[in-house]
Chains A and B, each alone.
Chain A
Amino acid sequence: MAGSGLKEVDRRIKSVKNTQQITRAMKMVAAAKLRKAEIRAKQARDYSEEIRSITRRAVSKGTGHPLLGKRDVVHRGFIVITSSRGLAGPYNANILRHASLKIQEAGGKDPGVFAVGRKGRDYFLHRRVSILQEFLGIGDEPTFHQARAIAQEILRHFLDHRVDEVWLSYTKFINPLNHQVESIRLLPVEEPLSDDPSMQRSYVFEPDTQTVFQDLLPRYVEVLIYSALLESKASEHGARMTAMDSASKNADELIRRMVLMRNRLRQAAITKEIAELVSGAEALK
């Protein structure tokens, strides 16, 4: 049975080629989505940076809003943004490791998670971390509407004193190959850096500080969540593209080796057949 090993190898080559086609297609899809997500994330940066600096300057000039109030922290809430789908290389593992560490470091009683994306929900469910709320089905293009819905729930939890501090963990997009996991304190609203010269400005609030805060602070939370969603989404597509690219390259390498093996097997089979023929002819003489 000279041909059986050969057939086995042929089958495996075909199977790897099929898989490679899938990984190649996924890479292309991820690349196309990445382009869109990257543009959206970059365009939103301007706005989020402006609102952050305005908010910082504004809170340095006034106090007394419930979203600014520092309390004795008993319960901490952590918003963790992950993807809903896998095959994105180390993307989800990185953010989840980072978030778990953050939760451990922070301590406090019974920390809770606001899980955005299925992967994070499953992870924390498995580890018996209490999940305050889950937000699934964000899709490939997060909208401001979705961010606002998340923000409203977070604000409600905070104002009802179910959590006393809220952290936001997400993946910041630097370029398609580089992403950085990051955590920021969302609530209470961060205090200004005192050495920033723009803090020295004296502002007039119209009609008054409270009215401005009433509008500005919830908006600030919404925008921070929105930009975190966009950054994470761009990072996810970047990570998936990289992962699928290396998977396709691995498949190439596998195929190369198996083709070599197949040729060697075929050569061996031919040699064997010739040897049999020759020895058969010899015997007839």
Chain B
Amino acid sequence: MPSTYHLKIVTPERTIFDGPVSYIIVRSTEGEIGILAHHMQLITPLIPHIITVYPENAKTEQFTIGGGFLEVGDTSTVVLADSAERASEIDVARAEKARQRALELIGKQEPNIDLLRAKRALARAENRLKLAGRPTAMTH
């Protein structure tokens, strides 16, 4: 039995990863899950997080994922991400700005703001900063 499976990470803009892997770690709404070959077939929503990918014969890779879905099939696994970046592609200044904006929104405590959306934006910005090597004090 093969110990690897095919992983594809796609976003509406592009396909960021497409190849054989032995192991990945993702975070769903229910918590962190690791997926090896022959995992149970599964469909689950993902929250904004940093996904860790262990390719078959290459270095470990990490991507920020701005929420999405995971589908584990019998021979292949697909991550449908709203957005995805490598560490080298992250715009630190923009992420920092997004973090400030989200923090302000959450801090205002106004009834008509979409708190869930602001929190997701904050999580996305913090993941980007974290992966880009600019750790911030995590606020959640």
Contact = CB atoms under 8 A, between A and B. Distances in A.
Interface of A: 40, 43-44, 46-48, 50-51, 54, 57-58, 144, 198, 201-207, 211-212, 215-216, 219, 223, 226
Contact of A46 (B10, B42, B74): B10
Nearest to A39: B14
A207 B78 CA distance: 18
B107 interface: no
Question: Could you tell me the dominant secondary structure of chain B's interface residues?
Answer: strand
19 contacts: A43-B15, A44-B13, A46-B10, A46-B15, A48-B12, A50-B71, A50-B80, A51-B80, A57-B43, A201-B74, A203-B41, A204-B41, A205-B44, A206-B29, A207-B29, A207-B30, A215-B45, A216-B69, A219-B69
**7 nearest A-B residue pairs (beta carbon):** A206-B44, A47-B10, A43-B14, A215-B45, A46-B15, A46-B10, A54-B71
Interface of B: 8, 10-15, 28-30, 40-45, 69, 71, 73-74, 78, 80
- Among the interface residues A40, A51, A206, which one has the most CB atoms of the partner chain B within 10 A? A206
Contact of A47 (B11, B42, B43): B11
B85 to A, nearest CB: 15
B25 to A, nearest CB: 16
A22 B13 CA distance: 33
A47 B73 contact: no
Contacts of B78: 50, 54
Contacts of A144: 12
Nearest to B18: A46
B15 A203 contact: no
Contacts of A226: 12
